[in-house]
Structures are given as structure tokens and as C-alpha cells.
Structure 1
Amino acid sequence: MSILDVDYTGLYLCIEEAHKKALETASPVLAAFSCVVATVDPLSLLERAQGYHDSYAFWKSRDPAVCMFGWGTEVEINVQGETRFSEVQALWRSLLEHSVCHGPLGPRLVGGFRFDVDGNRDPCWRDFPDACMSLYKTLVVHAPDRNWLLCHCYVDPGADVAVLVASYKKHIELLCGREKKLAHGSSNFALYEPANAAQWKSKARLAVEKIQCQAFTKVVLARSVQQVHDEPINPGALVRALSSNSQAHLFAFSRGGSCFVGATPERLACVLDGNLHTHALAGTTRRDEDAAIDRRLGEILFESNKERHEHALVVEAIREALTPLVSELEISQEPTLHCLPKVQHLNTAIRAKVKREVCLLNIVAAMHPTPAVAGHSRQAALDYIRKHEELDRGWYAAPLGWLDADGNGDFIVGLRSALVSGVNCRLFAGCGIVSDSDPEQEYQETCLKLSGLQQALIDSARPIVSLMRA
């Protein structure tokens, strides 16, 4: 018995209507069917999907609280090059042109983009294109008040409707009938770092010198470490461990034999009913278990000229990027503290109305990369990163998210993240370098950011109880 009570009659009628239109147009037609289902935890589905040989995506955002799990790629928009955002939008509109939609939810694309199409290339990211947005065969969407199942079917004129519906039933029951896979049994690993501490701090020191020579005002330098575990890493268990951070957006994108997973504090842009909200997140210090010390650390962060300057650069860059695309732009006059388990950041809330002719991907293209993940000015910082960072960021620090047929959607920034492949795990972290940065302190900041994910990897290795087959 499936844990999802699916209206297969409704699915049949939707696909049947799309098939008639496909026959009329002599071309495939997208069918999107949705129905309300009983409460189901998308994270549980993610855990069940481990070892299931197909791509999947898990997403959990806060404010608004939305959790999704999609599995089985039905249609994939895969684009390479600088124009990836506009090309994805054009292909999305083409898919929607003759689509047939039944139910409360319309079709929903989920996926991500590469940080820099002109940056270094590493084979570890080969399964993650410059842009890849997918319509999953089935997508469970969980909101605080209800749950939906959304089915996407690209119906060919020569298709057999009954066979298609039967394939969806088998697909759903295959995943929902699986047991949750146990976490790997050991947290033992060997640690490798392409650039050691001294080398990375030397890069940071050189960046400070360039900034003091006015080559640019800020650059974000990232680093990666590789952990090779003695047992395969379970992405589902890792996300479960990361879910204890209630202030983060969670994600897991599985492609080929790899999964990009993380818990990011940063949203790039969310649009709902024409209303945009985003934020500037820059300026960092650690947390402390002692409440008084923790409070004082936040005060020092708030009073730091260096951190406030770094934060202000991000605020102004977002203002410049959004001004042509929105109206009623509202930016909080003073930042607040955004507190996470390991670190706390300066945060400035930003809201606006999206202009009628503007789509979410226009906004994403204008904002990415912000000074929080690249630097300022943007082009000078990117040029410096390409030359000196010696790292393929792939989807790290890049836009990840979803959009629907009505212009709604949500994109986050892929920070505090790792690329998992079997026993291998590449962890990424970065920090902003400005004129008065101290390379040692910046290096320690990256260690602090890495530590949260490293702890989650340890926690995910602890045995968990398998659920009975549904």
C-alpha cells in the first residue's frame, strides 16, 4: 500500500486531454496534474530514494515554509553559456504554451545554475550543467496547511494514455514502498585539502593588497576540503542531520552519481503574487554557548566598521540590480543579527513589487552573483576569482530554486554545502575580503563555516531506525 493516496482517475483525464491536444498539434504536450494528498514528509521520501537510480531534488525553505521532493526527471531544461537564464525562461514559456493543467498546482520547475560559466572546470561537477531546471515526474509539495502531489507528463502524439498512467502508478509505489535506507555506519574519514592553510592565507593576503591598490573593493575567496569516508555517505541522512538548523534553507540535488547538498542561510530572491523579498547577508562572527559572550560577539559584529562596510557593499549592489526591475523598493535602514548554530551574520531585509514585464529569472540574472558571494565591483572580482582562487565552484554559491507557471518562485544561494559522491565529500566555504581583512581571521571564518557541515556528516553516520515498509 502506498503512503500517497493518488487520484489516478484525475491523472488519467489530464493525460488524456493532453494526448488529444498532442494529436491536434502533432507535437508533444505537457500535462500537469495535482491533487491534495494526506500528510507526508518529503524528507522521509528523500531518505527512501537513496539507491534509487534516478535524479531527485529536495528543497525546504523558511518564510515561506515550503518543503518539496521530486523524483524521476520527466523534462529537463539543460542550457550552457552566458545566456543561460534567458534561455531557460524562453524554453519554459515554450513548454507552457500548449500545456494542460488539472488541479490546484500548475507545473513547477526545480533546479540550479552554475556559479560562473567562465570559471575553472573540474570533472567532479560534470553532471551539473551551467543551467539545469527539471520537471520531475512526481513532485510532493508540503506546506503548513496541506500537501499536494504534482505529476508532470510530456505526452507524445503516439502515446498510450493507459500505459502512461500505469507507469506513474508503478513509479509512485516503487518509491513509497521502499524502506528508509540506513545511514552509513562510520564517521571515519581522511581529510584532503588542495590548498593548505598557508597557501590560502597567502591568496587572501594578495587580495588585500589588490584592494588597497584600488583594483576592487571586495572579493570573496572560497576554499574546499575533501573528506574520503570509509563508508558511502547517505545524502538523506545528511539532510536529516542538517535539519536541526531551523534558520537555514535545506537542499539536495542528485544527478548522475553525485548529490549537491547543504543548509544555506541566504535567499537570493523569492517572488509570490508579484511581491519580491530578499535580503543582504554579509558580515560574520562566531556563536558562543555562553549567552553573555554570544550577545557581546553580536554587538562587536554590529559595531565593526570592517563588517558594516562589507555589508553595505552588498546592500548597494542589490539596490542597483533591482531598481530597473521593481517598484516600491523598501530596504531596511539598519541591519539586524541573523543567528545560526555556528555563526551570526548582519542581515538587511529588502522588499519590492515586481514590474509587470519582469520575470523571476530576470531578477536572478541581475542579482547573481551578489557581492556576498563574488565581490565588488562584480566583474573585477570575478576576474580575480577565476585567476587566483583555483577552484571550480560548480553549483556552490550559485542560484538554486524553483519557479511555476504563474511567475512565482524562490531561489536561494548554495552556501554551507558539499558535493557528495559515494565515499567522497567535497565541502565548500568562503569569506569576503576587504581592505582591512586579516588573512588569519578570514581563514578561521571559513573553518567555522565548514564545521557545521562537518558535524552534520558525523551525526548522519550514527545508526538510525529503519521504518517498516509502508
Structure 2
Amino acid sequence: MIAITEQLIHDHLSKAIECARNESNTKLVSVVKKVRPIDPLIFYANGYRQFCKERFFWRDPNQQYTFVGLGRAYTLSSKEGSARFFDTEKQWKRFKKDILYTNNVKFPNGTGPLLFGGFSFDPYQKKDSYWTDFSNSKFVIPSVLYTEADGNGYLSINIKVSGEDNIQDHLKHIEELEGLLINQEYDGSSYSSPLLLTKEEIDVQRFTKNVQNATSLIQQEKIEKVVLARQLKATFTEAISTEYVIQRLLREQPTSYTFIFENENQHFVGASPERLVQKEGDYVFSTCLAGSIKRGKTRKEDALLGDELLNDQKNLIEHDVVVHMIKEAMDAYCMEVEIPMQPTLYKTKHIQHLYTPVRGKIKKGVTLFSLLKELHPTPALGGYPQKESLSIIRKLEPFDRGWYAAPIGWIDINGNGEFIVGIRSGVIERQQAMLFAGCGIVADSTPESEYEETTIKFNPMLSALGGIASGPY
């Protein structure tokens, strides 16, 4: 449906309406057109008036895919706990079987009825008010999707139809939505950061005590590693513009995944450096990202810090735990797994990490959702062993992580997609932003070093919000 004509659109809608009439059921039909590429941020901004609080944005660091979703043609959500991955996949399969109308149409990857959303980190944590708009699993199929892939632009329009619909009404609606591509002027300077009023690091003493308690448990060999997080609340003079935040993240964090998921009151936004899993046909890719150090103020200092990280036993042990767990999980679902022997460095604006990529060829029947269930949470986000570390997090952390450090991403109708972990992130609600940062605790961790590490990890979001000055060179 790339070179689609108006007649083909008419025929596709007409058959969908007929199908809905015959089955006495509402159908969702997708129309995909290849379009002249537009700046995705402009398209996101163009959707403000009609779709404010119902938008999402995604860009991977290689710019393989950029998505801007506007509106909600269909929503899948789950209140299940540990079964939230299975329940979401079951709903997705039911949707494709009973509700989606395609008439054997083939969609290019990343277009059409694409599903975007995420999961909670731990459904058994006590819920906090700033996660009210986020269920244990929440995914949307947008009314309008702009996809940029390998330099090409695609517009997907997803429409609910019933057997009584007038096809001309839908054709007029499609024409109106295509108008979002016309305005290509975007004055980024019109979006600015409101003034920062307060910046509150929440319960630092509790965090340092948690680090001490965790290291004690590790030294007693109760666990090998646990990841502990803390919060920072930033309050501004007026409501925070999501356009402004995305614009800053795209400019300042080009080596990270930029994402936002808007809701009625709360928006989850961030720039995560860490892929959890990507699926392309029969191949899957994951990332081991654990062990970190700050960036240097000069290139020489930065290189010295990188060498220090590559040879630091504490960070190498922390990284190796993640590599071991992800390899085990991939071995269970793949016929072959490729993984380098030694980590390299992965650098973002404010911090550099130990990095090991993983590639595997999946077994028949393996889906993204089954991989997500197996991988989440990795030792980089929860700890090791998984069950014991989650129990410790529930006892020690006095807040709900919500979607922080949890899978967020997309899957298309062909089964391809990608999920990252929602770190370097925060929840925006009007003029406030609640930010999260975590660190891996091992036997020789100290409260001082872990406090410093989490302080560095707050910087990407603080900078994007306008709460700090620019970072290193």
C-alpha cells in the first residue's frame, strides 16, 4: 500500500465497512501512504491542538525508526501482575484476529496499526499518585502515525468503521488528517523552559541507608547485586512544554532513545541509552549496559575516565552479572547467540557505560512479548538473582517505580519492534517533574559513590527541562 491511490483508499474502506456490516462488529482499518518526509518534531507540534495529551514520540539513536503517534484509535491495557506480558499479547492477538481489517494488505515495517506503550517495572509495588494514568500495561494504536524509516516518510491513518458508516465522511476525515503534513514551519524558540522554582532531592538519607543495607546483604551472600533508585522533584513556574523537552533531548542526547508517552494528566518522557530487545524478522538484539563513570571535561580526561571504567573490577563484576543473565535468557529462546568476550564503552552526554551487544537467531514461535517476559528486569535494572533482588527493592525503596526502568517500545503488525528500558526518565505533570535515577549495588559499593552516580544520571532530564547548565565539552 505504499503507492496507494485515492481509488484504492475508497475501495479499502468500502470493503471494511461491508465486513463490519456482515459481522455486526466495529472494525479498524489502516490506510498507509508514502509521503514527503517532515521534521517529526514539527508533526508532533502540529498535533497539539487536536490531539494534545494523546501523543507519543520515539526515535532510536541510529534513526532507523522515528515515530510520532497522534490520537488513540485503539487502546490495550492490563491490570494483571506478573501475567501482564501474557495478557497484553493475548489482547494483541485477539485484536488482529477479530477487530483489525486488512484484506491481505501488506504494510511496510513500522507502519499501519502499530502498537506503542509500556509496562510497569513491578506491579506489586504500592502505587503512587504520579503514576495514576499508567496501568501495569498500556499500549495504544494511534489515530495518525507518522513513520520515518531509512529516510522515507509514511503516514498511517487508523480508522474505526461500522456497517452503518458513510464512506465519504471517512474520506473527508483522512483529508483533514493529511493536513497535519502541510504546515512544516516550526519555531523551536517559541517553546521555552519555564523558570525553575525548586529542585528537591527526595529522602537522600533513606537512599544512603538503603545502600548500606544492600551491601551488607551482598556481603552475607544473600544476593549478588541489587539496583536501588532515588527521586528528584523539579518544580517550575508554569506548565512544562513536552515539545521543548523533546527538542532538548534530541539535541543533547543523540546517542540515546528519545521517547514520550502522553496521557491526560501525566507524561512519561526520557532519553534511555539502553535497548532491552529488538526483533527484526528471525533475529533479535539485546544490550548489556551496566557499570558507569562520568564524562570528562576534556577529551584527554574523558579518555582516562573511560580507561579507568574498562579496568575497574567493581564495574566489571556488575557488568558481567548482566551479560551472564541476558545470555542465559537468549540461549533459551534462540538457536544461536553471538556475544563479544569483552565490553566496550558507550558514551552519552553526561555519562559513559560498559557496553556489550548481543545478537541471536530466534526459535520458531518466539515473540517480542515472550522475550520481554523473560528478560525483564535484567540485573542492570533489578539485580541478581531476580526474585530476591525484587523483594529487596520492595522493602527498601519507599516509592513506586511505575514505568521507570521498565520496558517501553513498539511492535508492528509484522511482529517486528523494539523495547528499551525507561531510564534517564521522569514523569511530567503540569509544572512538576518527578525524575528517577538508579545504580547497581555490589559488595564494595559505598553510599558516597552511588549518590554521585545517581546525581550524574539525573542530568539528562534536568538539562532537558532547563534545570541545569550544559554538560561537558
User: Equivalent residues in 2 for 1:13-28 (5 A)?
Assistant: 13-28=11-26
User: Equivalent residues in 2 for 1:292-441 (5 A)?
Assistant: 292-441=300-449
Please tell me whether the aligned partners of residues 48 and 179 of structure 1 are also in contact (alpha carbons under 8 angstroms): no
* Whole-Å separation in 1 of the counterparts to 2:235 and 2:47: 23
Please tell me whether the aligned partners of residues 184 and 461 of structure 1 are also in contact (alpha carbons under 8 angstroms): no
Partner of 1:31: 29
Q: Aligned pair in 2 of structure 1 residues 288, 6: CA closer, same or farther (>3 Å)?
A: farther
User: Equivalent residues in 2 for 1:37-56 (5 A)?
Assistant: 37-50=35-48, 52-56=51-55
Pick from 249, 274, 284 the counterpart of residue 242 of structure 1. Answer: 249
Please tell me whether the aligned partners of residues 53 and 265 of structure 2 are also in contact (alpha carbons under 8 angstroms): no
Shift of 1:19: 1.2
Q: Aligned partner of 1:371: which letter?
A: P
The answer to whether the aligner puts 1:147 opposite 2:149 as a matched pair is no
What secondary structure sits across from 1:341 in the alignment? Answer: coil
User: Equivalent residues in 2 for 1:106-185 (5 A)?
Assistant: 106-173=112-179, 182-184=190-192
> Larger deviation: 302-311 or 448-457?
448-457
Partner of 1:221: 228
Please tell me whether the aligned partners of residues 59 and 251 of structure 1 are also in contact (alpha carbons under 8 angstroms): yes
What secondary structure sits across from 2:89 in the alignment? Answer: helix
Q: Aligned partner of 1:60: which letter?
A: R
The answer to whether the aligner puts 1:257 opposite 2:265 as a matched pair is yes
Aligned residues: 457
The C-alpha deviation readout for 1:68-89, integer Å capped at 9, x for no partner, is: 1001100001111121111111
What secondary structure sits across from 1:371 in the alignment? Answer: coil
Please tell me whether the aligned partners of residues 193 and 244 of structure 2 are also in contact (alpha carbons under 8 angstroms): no
Please tell me whether the aligned partners of residues 183 and 461 of structure 1 are also in contact (alpha carbons under 8 angstroms): no
Q: Aligned partner of 2:205: which letter?
A: A
Q: Aligned partner of 1:100: which letter?
A: Y
What secondary structure sits across from 2:380 in the alignment? Answer: coil
Please tell me whether the aligned partners of residues 463 and 469 of structure 2 are also in contact (alpha carbons under 8 angstroms): no
> Larger deviation: 156-165 or 32-41?
156-165
The C-alpha deviation readout for 1:408-452, integer Å capped at 9, x for no partner, is: 011011110111111011111100001110110000000001012
Please tell me whether the aligned partners of residues 33 and 103 of structure 1 are also in contact (alpha carbons under 8 angstroms): no
Partner of 2:201: 193
**% identity of equivalent residues:** 30
What secondary structure sits across from 1:154 in the alignment? Answer: strand
User: Equivalent residues in 2 for 1:58-69 (5 A)?
Assistant: 58-63=57-62, 65-69=64-68
* Whole-Å separation in 2 of the counterparts to 1:461 and 1:76: 39
Shift of 1:180: 5.1
Shift of 1:202: 1.2
Shift of 1:172: 4.6
Q: Aligned partner of 1:448: which letter?
A: I
Please tell me whether the aligned partners of residues 241 and 460 of structure 1 are also in contact (alpha carbons under 8 angstroms): no
Shift of 1:28: 2.2
Shift of 1:104: 3.8
Shift of 1:42: 1.4
Please tell me whether the aligned partners of residues 192 and 226 of structure 1 are also in contact (alpha carbons under 8 angstroms): yes
The C-alpha deviation readout for 1:166-213, integer Å capped at 9, x for no partner, is: 234334536865975832453322122331x33211111111111111
Shift of 1:62: 2.8
Please tell me whether the aligned partners of residues 326 and 354 of structure 1 are also in contact (alpha carbons under 8 angstroms): yes
Q: Aligned partner of 2:447: which letter?
A: P
Q: Aligned partner of 1:217: which letter?
A: E
* Whole-Å separation in 1 of the counterparts to 2:191 and 2:467: 10
Q: Aligned partner of 1:47: which letter?
A: A
Shift of 1:8: 5.3
Please tell me whether the aligned partners of residues 339 and 345 of structure 1 are also in contact (alpha carbons under 8 angstroms): yes
Partner of 1:277: 285
Partner of 1:465: none
Shift of 1:376: 0.5
* Whole-Å separation in 2 of the counterparts to 1:329 and 1:263: 28
The C-alpha deviation readout for 1:262-309, integer Å capped at 9, x for no partner, is: 100000000011111111000000001222211111111111111011
The C-alpha deviation readout for 1:115-156, integer Å capped at 9, x for no partner, is: 111112011111111111111011000023310011112322
What is the TM-score of this pair, normalised by structure 2? 0.92
Q: Aligned partner of 2:362: which letter?
A: V
> Larger deviation: 72-81 or 158-167?
158-167
Q: Aligned partner of 2:135: which letter?
A: P
> Larger deviation: 243-252 or 452-461?
452-461
Please tell me whether the aligned partners of residues 280 and 417 of structure 2 are also in contact (alpha carbons under 8 angstroms): yes
* Whole-Å separation in 1 of the counterparts to 2:55 and 2:181: 12
Which structure 1 residue ranges, 5 or more long, are not aligned? Answer: 463-470
Q: Aligned pair in 2 of structure 1 residues 186, 133: CA closer, same or farther (>3 Å)?
A: closer
Shift of 1:103: 6.1
What secondary structure sits across from 2:144 in the alignment? Answer: strand
Q: Aligned partner of 2:25: which letter?
A: S
What secondary structure sits across from 1:318 in the alignment? Answer: helix
Shift of 1:94: 1.6
Q: Aligned pair in 2 of structure 1 residues 176, 259: CA closer, same or farther (>3 Å)?
A: farther
Please tell me whether the aligned partners of residues 109 and 134 of structure 1 are also in contact (alpha carbons under 8 angstroms): yes
* Whole-Å separation in 2 of the counterparts to 1:330 and 1:316: 13
Shift of 1:323: 1.6
* Whole-Å separation in 1 of the counterparts to 2:246 and 2:432: 16
What secondary structure sits across from 1:364 in the alignment? Answer: helix
